[in-house]
Amino acid sequence: MIYLDNAATTALSESARNAMEPYFSTHYGNPSSIYRFGQEARKAVEESRQSIAALLRVSPREIYFTGGGTESDNWAISSVALESALKKEKSAHLITSAIEHPAVLRTCAFFESLGVKVSRIPVDQKGFLDLEALERALQEESSLREREERSFPSKSGEEVKKGASHCLVSVMAANNEIGTIENLKEIGRLAKEYGAIFHTDAVQAFGQIPLDIEEMRIDLLSASSHKIHGPKGVGLLYIRKGLKLPSFLHGGAQERGLRAGTENVPGIVGFAAAAKEAFSSMEERGRKKASLRNLFFKRLMEEIPGAKISGVNPAEAEGIGERPESPFLSSLHHRLPGNVHICLPGVEGESVLLLLDQKGICASSGSACASGSLEPSHVLLAIGKSHEEAYFGLRLSLEETLTEEELEYTVEAIREAVEKLRG
């Protein structure tokens, strides 16, 4: 099999597996217990927290373990909306992009159904957030906040100050379908300029590209273990020190009382081991994957008439945006190194997947979390594709271990599938 699906390229790494094994069989105590058996597990959890915090250059007390990226996104958004509801003098405002993961979009839609204001900022044809539209939304929010904060004379003649609105900007670090890397530094600057909380869904970016939490002014960051060859079912939420959020899960005192429930000790330990390995090899892996990605695009464009690259075309990306970035990020041309997404006019992506599966190739047509949906890709619609074109997408996720022989085999298999379906 050739694994080119985002959900299939994330097999557990050997380092994560070895780190986890003792916590299934030997050190399986409850980390909340006070006896030594449980404290061995507690020590493993806290050492894992310290390890991941060091990679992100933050305090261990700012790292909270969760059940995965979806939970982390829900926690970040729900906390701001619920904090607003608890302090009844405040009105929440959620600002997000049109191409977010369903974990963000559907959470925002849920709170919108309860009366919370939600603004969805458009993106351009490459998937970059419209920064002018973001600033307009923030300016509108700021003006509203100023009006609410004005003092009004009460009946007794005393001054009464209205409460400010509670605003969250939630924009993903890199898109899970078309791979576009957003300008988090500028988004963070705008959020801070207008007093908003800044959350980023970094599930696709964590361990793949550099993330500078201070430079990007990130207040909340979601990440997931399985995207970096760690175990499934564990993730984290970074919460900047000083940001007061209500408890997300109620019960015990785990995660400093904000996220109750017995910790997944093997998962957390495996997550830390996978993160350490991913960060240490980030640039080397990224450059290899970007090279494979560029070759893949070149060969697909040569072999398949009418094929169109979705998002940023690395061959045409020179000079896109004047962003002070690391040399490594600049070399990726604003696109995740292992992301390939093409549209095949006249051919439904799902049909191509079935033919590729017969050739031993695992690929996808969009987000694994939207698998089985009959709706077209909301990401492709947001970047300007027609309703019909949005069914034509094919996404490939590359690992640095992919050989050029496997790449050529895949290109040929896609060409044959397209010819068969078009013919």
Query: Catalytic site residues?
Result: 369
Q: What letter would DSSP give residue 9?
A: S
Torsion of CA 79, 169, 319, 295, to 10 degrees: 40
Name which of 68, 18, 337, 21 is nearest 207 in CA terms: 337
- Give the integer Cα–Cα distance in Å for 400 and 180: 19
What are the residues whose beta carbons fall under 8 Å from the beta carbon of 215, sequence distance 6 or more? Answer: 185, 188
Helix residue ranges per DSSP H, 175-334: 184-193, 265-280, 282-303, 327-331
Comparing CA positions, the residue from 119, 97, 297 lying closest to residue 200 is 97
CA 7 – CA 43 distance, rounded (Å):
31
Under 8 Å CB-to-CB from 303, ≥6 apart: which residues? 411, 412, 414, 415
φ, ψ for residue 204, nearest 5 deg: -80, -20
Q: What are phi and psi of 201, to 5 degrees?
A: -80, 105
Cα 235 to Cα 237: distance, rounded to the nearest angstrom = 7
* 8 A C-beta contact, residue 326 and residue 353: no
Give CB contacts under 8 A, 24+ apart, made by 279-283: 279/55, 279/207, 282/207, 282/208, 282/209, 282/210, 282/328, 283/328
